[in-house]
């Protein structure tokens, strides 16, 4: 898939509305056409990208026992180390990857939710500082993109602003080891992303998307650009104008690091179509509940808690619902 759209978002930082609108129009076209695209921008601080990559290499080289002291199952907000095999989509084998997940670091006692609380941080000098700097940087770019989406959908530019106070937006540091003995076990199984949109920086190929012909197509890397894709929540917000696209990471041919940032609205924000003058094709979805219910279907520690009766998870939207054109009567 060498023809994905490329959108330069540099002018989202402009003080001229017409320049910001031009970016919003280009973003809109790319999301309608593909759902996957590349973005470039003068906003990107590639020094932070390189620091994050170097820090991830050092962290994942640690002994498993050391990494498991920050196991995600010990966290209050679904943050921490994710060992190989912890996560699986559907009934298949666990994904061939390990990760470190970082959420909104929310220290307050009031207002906590299943994905909103204090992060777990490993006892590794420089880790919290490097990861937090990158998280803040990509969150700022995400806020600019939310303003662009508001313009693209015919809304006030700051429509999403009040709903981005403490979003459960997650940064994942993912390590895909190269393992010849793993047969065809995927790096990560086929899925759509649950949030509004994802911004991805990766060090090697491996990502594939399901194209309109139902075939898996490789997504090559482009120097100086990030990969962006639409998630479930933006599909609902746009009333199906943009579709979440199913994707996966195939068995990698070389060691690969990937750093997706999943941008969401606040946990309690109700996701519903915002297109003016259109009949809603989707029922409203409680954003945080959708995110947590989908997460609980894939992580072993959450499945175990639910099976033991220690965790109640809403049924949520069925797997495979998003990424397909919906009829006028909706979901």
CATH label of the domain that carries residue 148: 2.60.120.330
313 belongs to a structural domain: no
Asked if pLDDT for residue 109 goes beyond 60, the answer is yes
| Residue that is written with structure tokens 């590349």 in the block | 38
- At CB < 8 A and 24+ separation, what contacts does 82-87 make? 82/299, 84/177, 85/300, 86/299, 86/300, 86/301, 87/188, 87/298, 87/299, 87/300
% residues pLDDT > 70 (the chain): 92
314 belongs to a structural domain: no
164: how many CB neighbours lie within 10 A of its CB?
18
Q: 148 versus 315: which is more confidently predicted? A: 148
Asked if pLDDT for residue 324 goes beyond 70, the answer is yes
What pLDDT is attached to residue 190?
81
Q: 55 versus 249: which is more confidently predicted? A: 55
Asked if pLDDT for residue 1 goes beyond 60, the answer is no
Q: 25 versus 191: which is more confidently predicted? A: 25
Question: What is the pLDDT confidence band of residue 181, given thresholds at 50, 70 and 90?
Answer: low
Q: Which domain holds residue 197?
A: 6-307
Strands (E), 151-246: 170-176, 188-191, 197-202, 207-210, 216-218, 226-230
314 within 8 A of 293, measured Cβ to Cβ = yes
323 belongs to a structural domain: no
Question: What is the pLDDT confidence band of residue 179, given thresholds at 50, 70 and 90?
Answer: low
The total domain count for the chain is 1
183 belongs to a structural domain: yes
Question: What is the pLDDT confidence band of residue 13, given thresholds at 50, 70 and 90?
Answer: very high
Q: 118 versus 298: which is more confidently predicted? A: 118
83 belongs to a structural domain: yes
317 belongs to a structural domain: no
199 belongs to a structural domain: yes
1 belongs to a structural domain: no
Asked if pLDDT for residue 91 goes beyond 90, the answer is no
% residues pLDDT > 90 (the chain): 74
pTM: 0.93
Taking the C-alpha atoms of residue 157 and residue 148, their distance in angstroms, rounded to an integer, is 7
Asked if pLDDT for residue 84 goes beyond 80, the answer is yes
Mean pLDDT of 310-327: 74
Specify the 3-state DSSP secondary structure of 149: helix
Asked if pLDDT for residue 89 goes beyond 80, the answer is no
What pLDDT is attached to residue 291?
93
Taking the C-alpha atoms of residue 238 and residue 33, their distance in angstroms, rounded to an integer, is 14
């Amino acid at each position: 898939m060498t023809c994905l759209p490329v959108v330069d978002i540099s002018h989202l930082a402009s003080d001229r509305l017409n320049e910001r609108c031009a970016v919003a129009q280009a973003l809109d076209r790319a999301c309608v056409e593909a759902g996957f695209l590349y973005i470039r921008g003068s906003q990107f601080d590639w020094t932070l990208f390189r620091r994050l990559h170097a820090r991830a290499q050092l962290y994942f080289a640690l002994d498993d026992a050391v990494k498991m002291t920050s196991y995600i199952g010990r966290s209050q907000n679904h943050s921490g180390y994710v060992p190989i095999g912890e996560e699986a989509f559907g009934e298949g084998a666990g994904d061939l990857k390990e990760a470190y997940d970082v959420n909104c670091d929310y220290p307050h006692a009031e207002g906590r939710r299943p994905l909103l609380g204090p992060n777990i941080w490993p006892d590794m000098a420089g880790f919290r500082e490097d990861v937090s700097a990158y998280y803040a940087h990509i969150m700022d770019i995400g806020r600019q993109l939310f303003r662009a989406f508001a313009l693209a959908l015919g809304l006030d530019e700051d429509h999403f602003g009040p709903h981005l106070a403490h979003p459960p937006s997650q940064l994942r540091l993912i390590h895909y080891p190269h393992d010849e003995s793993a047969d065809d076990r995927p790096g990560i199984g086929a899925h759509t992303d649950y949030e509004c949109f994802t911004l991805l920086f990766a060090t090697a190929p491996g990502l594939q998307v399901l194209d309109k012909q139902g075939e898996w197509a490789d997504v090559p890397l482009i120097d100086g650009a990030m990969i962006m894709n639409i998630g479930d929540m933006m599909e609902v917000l746009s009333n199906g104008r943009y579709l979440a696209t199913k994707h996966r990471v195939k068995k990698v041919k070389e060691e690969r690091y990937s750093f997706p940032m999943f941008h969401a609205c606040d946990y309690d924000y109700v996701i519903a179509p915002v297109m003016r003058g259109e009949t809603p094709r989707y029922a409203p979805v409680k954003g945080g509940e959708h995110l947590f219910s989908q997460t609980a279907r894939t992580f072993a520690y959450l499945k175990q808690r639910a099976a033991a009766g220690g965790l109640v998870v809403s049924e949520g939207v069925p797997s495979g619902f998003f990424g397909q054109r919906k009829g006028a009567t909706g979901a």
